[in-house]
Amino acid sequence: MKVLLVGGGGREHALAWKFVQEDPHVEIIAAPGNPGIAELARCVSVAATDIDGLVALAAHERPALTVVGPETPLALGIVDRFRAAGHPIFGPTQAAAEIESSKVFAKELMADAGVPTARAERHTEPASAKRAARAFGAPVVIKASGLAAGKGVIVSQSLADADMAIDAMLSHRMFGSAGSEILVEEFMQGEEVSLLFLTDGERWLPFVPAQDHKRLLDGDQGPNTGGMGAYAPVYPLVVASGGGAPGAPVTGARWADWHSVVGLAATQVVEPVLDAMRRRGRRFTGALYAGLMVTSDGLKVVEFNCRLGDPETQAILPLTRYALLPLMHAVALGDRLESSEWIGHGRPEHAVSTVVAAAGYPDTPRTGDVIHLPPPEPGVHVFHAGTARNAAGELVTAAGRVLAVTAVAADLATAQHMSARHAAAVEFSGKQFRTDIAWRELARGARAS
Ligand code: AMP
Ligand code: GLY
């Protein structure tokens, strides 16, 4: 099969790796790809946001399947354009991608579908937004409605901070038009879990739950980033279970394993949202990412993404036993996703992915530092995120998040240790990485299913 893979980050490297595992004869063309992906695919220098260029590339290459990694091309309507030109593509249409590209739309959808989420109000005027922040009380969350490269959410510990965030977005247009409409949102206390699903718009197939680590430093200290690492599966979340029936109140119990968390999220979140999207004529096909907060009142949606997560994918795919290519191909062709046999599809192993970031990340990442990778190690996958080759052919840093080092092991502590040790052995000037990815679960005491 010939596959066009759109994107050039760690998530796309993990997808390319998984495709080659599934089918050593797969022919992958990556646009634009990166030096890691180049070991598995033919990279073509067309940017992931150049929709005209990608349509032209597809017309020339005739891929049997196109898979899109990042959200921007989806929000720009790549799926609509490819479908119109007759190229099978896995992902949501522009209208369906609004579940991520408009947080206001996502909130309205959840309200309609009865999906639990934080209370929020939509505002376009600073004065009324500030009044709303006072009504909610601090801490309060200020969110740009549109896509802001993962930076559009400001969790404000005080009303003064909330006012600053509101002014920055609505008056000073810090995020351009993406912040001309904002949400003022109730702060939710809890632990986050990322649940990713493949869907044909009606049926769904889950991946193992994962947890991202947004803060730069160990112990969840320091500034917010795009994600400094992830682990999977997330096992013993302390919440509640009302038996898993749709809408059942959640009280007190401890989830025994990740299958129940996925089952609960599927009935309380995914199915109602997919139904509501179909009713609005915006059938959602592709990968649906539900960012959930596990609160004392049960699961609540933090956000939806219209694609796989980064860096969650780098932890999840090495554990995923089922083959993605035939499922993605079926969805791209408009066929049914057979989803009856998902239980047990994750390997009974643990993955920890540690992001190695550039000097100056997240504010002003430095590029061009020469990278020396340690020798390959069994059980460790080094996925390239922001790397490039310089004129001398050396591997250099090219973006804030440089590598995602995923280790897979029979127990979580070993996976963490292997991942951190390998990340420590990567050499480039000013590198930053955390040594404690999965710390919450290790602190609770991980248990095997
Ligand atoms: P988002 O871009 O919507 O994922 O938000 C980025 C991060 O902000 C999330 O991963 C959460 O850690 C945090 N966040 C967003 N909304 C809330 C909320 N209502 N309460 C607490 N934290 C939130
Ligand atoms: N890991 C968060 C995201 O992919 O948006």
Q: Whose CA is nearest to atom 5 of ligand 2?
A: 309
**Cβ atoms of 389 and 36 closer than 8 Å:** no
Distance 309 CA to ligand 2 centre (A): 4
**Per-residue pLDDT reduced to its tens digit, 107-146:** 999 999 999 999 999 999 999 999 999 999 999 999 988 9
- 75, 94 in Cβ contact below 8 A? yes
Residue 55 confidence (pLDDT): 98
Mutation to probe ligand 1, out of 215, 302, 310 (largest number of atoms < 8 A from CB): 302
Domain residue limits at 157: 125-180
pLDDT band at 441 (very low <50, low <70, confident <90, very high): confident
Residues 226 and 286 in one domain: yes
C-alpha 36 to ligand 2 mean position (Å): 21
CB 267 within 8 A of CB 245: yes
Ligand 1 shell residues, CB under 6 Å? 118, 141, 153, 155, 185-188, 192, 214, 291, 302-303
Output the pLDDT for position 198. 95
Q: Above 60 in pLDDT, residue 448?
A: no
User: What are the tens digits of pLDDT across the range 177-211?
Assistant: 898 888 999 999 988 999 999 999 999 999 989 99
Q: Is residue 65 domain-resident? A: yes
Q: Is residue 103 part of a domain?
A: no
CA of 172 to the centre of ligand 1 (A): 22
Average pLDDT value for the chain: 91
Alpha-carbon gap, residue 350 to 347, rounded angstroms: 8
Q: Do 312 and 429 fall into the same domain?
A: yes
Contact call for residues 236 and 255 (beta carbons, < 8 A): yes
Q: Are residues 149 and 27 in the same domain?
A: no
Q: What number does the ligand 2 atom closest to the CA of 212 have?
A: 1
3-state secondary structure of 320: strand
157 and 237 housed in the same domain: no
Whether residue 247 has pLDDT greater than 50? no
pLDDT > 70 in the chain, percent:
91
pTM for the whole structure: 0.93
| Centroid of ligand 2 to alpha carbon of 341 (angstroms) | 27
**By percentage, how much of the chain surpasses pLDDT 90?**
77
Residue 101 counted as domain residue:
no
Protein residue with least CA distance to atom 3, ligand 2 = 309
Output Rg (C-alpha) for the chain, integer angstroms: 21
Say yes or no: CB of residue 305 within 6 Å of ligand 2.
yes
Domain shared by 299 and 196, yes or no: yes
Atom 3 of ligand 1, residue of closest alpha carbon: 303
Cα of 304 from ligand 2 centre, angstroms: 9
User: Tens digits of per-residue pLDDT, 286-311?
Assistant: 999 999 998 878 889 999 999 999 99
Q: How far apart are CA 240 and CA 5, in angstroms?
A: 39
pLDDT for 379: 97
Q: Angle at the Cα of 431 (from 425 to 434), degrees rounded to 5?
A: 75
Ligand 1: residue whose CA is nearest its atom 6: 153
Backbone angles phi, psi at 71, to 5 degrees: -80, -30
Ligand nearest to the CA of 227: 2
Give the tokens for residue 285. 């096909």
Is the residue at 26 inside a domain? yes
| Mutation pick for ligand 1 pocket among 102, 147, 155 (CB with most ligand atoms within 8 Å) | 155
pLDDT tens for each residue of 367-405:
999 999 999 999 999 999 999 999 999 999 999 999 999
Q: Is residue 100 part of a domain?
A: no
